[in-house]
Every structure is written in C-alpha cells, then in structure tokens.
A = this chain, B = another copy of it.
Amino acid sequence: MATSPIWASRPKTRGLVLDLIRAARAISRVELATATGLTGATISEVVRELMGDGLVVEAGRGAPTGGKPRTLVQLNPSARYSVGVQLERNTCVIVVVDLAGRQVARTSFQGVASLPPQQALPLLAAQVDALLTTAAVDRGKVLGVGLVSYGPQDRRAGVLLTPQPTDQWLDYPVAGRLAEGLGLPVLLDNDAAAAAIGEYWMGAVDPRSTYGCIYMATGIGGGVVVAGEVYRGSSSNSVEIGHISIDVNGAECPCGNVGCLENYAGPSALVREAVATPGLAQRLALDPSAADFLTEFARLAAAANAGDRDARDLIERSARYLGSAAVTMASLFDVDVIVLAGPSFAVAGSIYQAVIQQEVDRRMFARRAHPVRVVPSVNGSDAAAIGGAVLVLQSELTLGHARPEDGARPVPASTSTAP
C-alpha cells in the first residue's frame, strides 16, 4: 500500500487543472474552480505555478457574464515537446508533438526493425536527433520519447516479451538502450494502447466515455480507454484483440492460441488469399514474395475501393471478421465508441467502417442499453506514433506525477541532455 493517498497529492491537482486547460483550449480561473470543485485561492495558486513553469499563459478576456470580464488562460504549446516512435516490422514512424499534442515534425523510413536491436536502436536514435534538429526544437524542452511497439511487453522494465521482429528483440532492453543513445527518458508502451489514448488527447471522444480502439498495421492490436486513462489490467498487456480466437476449431497461431483474428482479418492473411484467388494477383500485379506485404495490401484495398469484385469480397470478409471481434470488445468492455486506427485501415477505411458498424449493430449483446459508434481515427496512419508522444505528455504532465504507484515511469537516460 502506498504511504500517501493519491487524492491528497498536490501533483494530481496540478495535473487535473492542466488537463482541463488543455481540453478547454481557453478557460477562466472561475470556470476551473467550478469544474474541479476547488477553491478560487487554490486554483489561482496552481495556475500561478503553471505560469511560472511556462506551461500556461494568459490569453485575453472571456465574454462578460455580468461582473467584470474574466481573464482566460491557455496552454503554451511551445513550452514542451515530446517524441513518438512507432517501431513496426516494416516501417518506423517518428513524430514530434508540442504540448497541445499537435504534430510539428514527422519522418518515416523502412527496415529498421528487421535489424537486430543492437544495430537498429542507434539508427533510430540518429533519426530522432536529426528530426529534432531539423524542426529546430530546443532539446531542453523535450520531455521524452514514447516508444511504441508490439505486445507482449514488460512495460516497467522497457523490454519486449516477443521474439518479433527477430529473436534478438526478445528480452532486449529497448527503452533503456534508446534512452542512453538519446540522452532522453524513454517510455515503452503498446502501439494500440498509444493509438487509443491519442484519440482522447486530440479531443475526438467525449472525455467521460469508455471507448475501444482496434489498431491494424502488419498485425492487429487493441486498446480501451476509460475516463481518459488506458485500461491497463495486471501488466499493461491488455486488449490483445488480434490474438483472440474467432474460431475455436481454427488453425494454431505461433502465439499459442487457435483461430486468432489476425490470421483471418490481417493484411498478411489477405494478401495470401488474394495471391491464391485466380486472376486477382495478376490483375493487381501482387508480388507474393514482397517483404513488405503492407504495400501489396494497400494495392488490394485500393482495388476494393475501385470496385474490383474479388478484392472487395476479400476486404469485406476481413471486415466481417473484425466485426466479430469488435462485437466481443463491445460485449466485454461495454464501450460507447470503437475507433479504427493504423495504416492498414487507411485505404479501405470506409468499407471497414460500414461493415464493422453493421456487425456491431446487429450482434452486440447490450444494444438495448446504448448504441456503439464505429469511427475512423482522427490520427489516421500515424495514430500509434502520435499516441506514443501523447503518452509521454500525459505521463509527465498529469498522471505521471499523480500516480507514483502506477509503475511505468519513463526509463531515464543515463547520460544528461546537452542544453
């Protein structure tokens, strides 16, 4: 048991006020007092402190409400930055975002994760360095790096518990090594959980809602957010929706389970099926030996959009399988919204959205209690990388300070940052 109760901790108040200012864009101290239930004096003190740290600035006056006009406060977006790095089998995306979560720089490149981590991480660090330099971001203002990748993970230790993409990545201290290479704290997290929290931070969902995210890149993952916080479970290895069974009599998956969603609905399975469909592979000039099957998958998705019957059948079937898993997510987590995020929803997103919505409407257990909306991600293909950066902002500025018992703090860099 923690020695200090969380509701008595001052940083929680600070984090709450900062989060309200962020969400409201511009808000008066009186409104902050009303929203938090804190006294005007406490709010004034917290706001003074936030202004002293440069996180918040005054921003003109609000509409008069009878008394004297109220001074509004807002975030100072350029006061802090964070970096999101998404490590995928085929692609690595790096983004830099400001305190408001807005993207100020982005780069992506291929192939890093197919190298062993000893070679990959220095390359990654060099890319982050180059991006920060190009964007002219003061490194002293960078809070840290959110490194997001596959599950399962040991999030506290900053270690991947999977032999993906190559055996050498299993148990390798990815967060610690990247932190050393960059001289910045690094927080390891699940890519789909990151994508989910990014939606909240960007204001795309009601902060009081419970919502899920299905994330599809080369694999399929998931995340659930309850009242602004990622549902973590016991070890932050939750919502692994790509590896739930949709067919109890299905084939065995390398993960140990049988009939996993990913093997029915994921890009790799679809490209394999497309290649086996007479005529389709030739028509789309699919290369069955392509190392990067996401490119082949994008071609298939584009053909489905353009009305190719065979391509559309395959995408719709994939969407129905995803719909079945979405129904499971809705019936277990009782969500209001399911967000579809990640690069593999980018091309044929509207087909996926329509079919998954249909399945949920028809099959969810508690549909008499409330509907569930299926929506595309506001962050699109880069949802995971942006979410990784947002997790650092959230951890450093709000929840992190308030919840020392929650475990996963960024792995600190052992070398100090050059100012």
Contacts and interface: CB of A to CB of B under 8 A. Distances in A.
Interface of A: 1-8, 12, 16, 34-38, 151-154, 161-162, 209-210, 222, 226, 231-241, 243-249, 255-258, 264, 320-321, 324, 327-329, 331-336, 362-370
A227 to B, nearest CB: 10
A338 to B, nearest CB: 12
25 contacts: A5-B38, A6-B7, A7-B12, A151-B366, A152-B366, A153-B369, A210-B233, A231-B231, A232-B334, A233-B334, A238-B334, A241-B331, A243-B331, A244-B327, A244-B332, A245-B246, A245-B363, A248-B321, A255-B363, A256-B364, A256-B367, A257-B327, A257-B365, A328-B328, A328-B332
B154 A369 contact: yes
A366 B161 contact: yes
A235 B331 CA distance: 11
A336 to B, nearest CB: 5
Contacts of A336: 234
Copies of the chain in the assembly: 2
For the complex of A and B, the 10 pairs showing the least CB-CB separation, nearest first, are: A7-B7, A233-B334, A237-B366, A152-B366, A238-B334, A4-B37, A161-B368, A257-B363, A240-B365, A5-B37
A328 B333 CA distance: 12
Contacts of A238: 332-334
A410 B22 CA distance: 36
Given A152-B369, A327-B245, A334 B210 contact: no
B369 A1 contact: no
Nearest to A362: B256
Nearest to A155: B369
A36 B210 CA distance: 29
A12 B38 CA distance: 17
A240 B37 contact: no
Contacts of A329: 332
Q: Which of A152, A161, A241 has the most CB of B within 10 A?
A: A152
Nearest to A363: B257
Q: Which of A151, A248, A370 has the most CB of B within 10 A?
A: A248
A363 B256 contact: yes
B237 A210 contact: no
Contacts of A328: 244-245, 328, 332
Given A247-B247, A327-B257, A235 B5 contact: no
Contacts of A12: 7
Given A238-B332, A255-B363, 6 more contacts: A8-B37, A237-B334, A237-B369, A244-B328, A246-B248, A248-B321
Nearest to A38: B5
Contacts of A35: 1
Contacts of A236: 334
B6 A334 contact: no
Contacts of A162: 368
A40 to B, nearest CB: 14
Given A35-B1, A245-B246, A248-B246, A255 B365 contact: yes
B7 A245 contact: no
Contacts of A321: 248
A209 B234 contact: yes
B239 A332 contact: yes
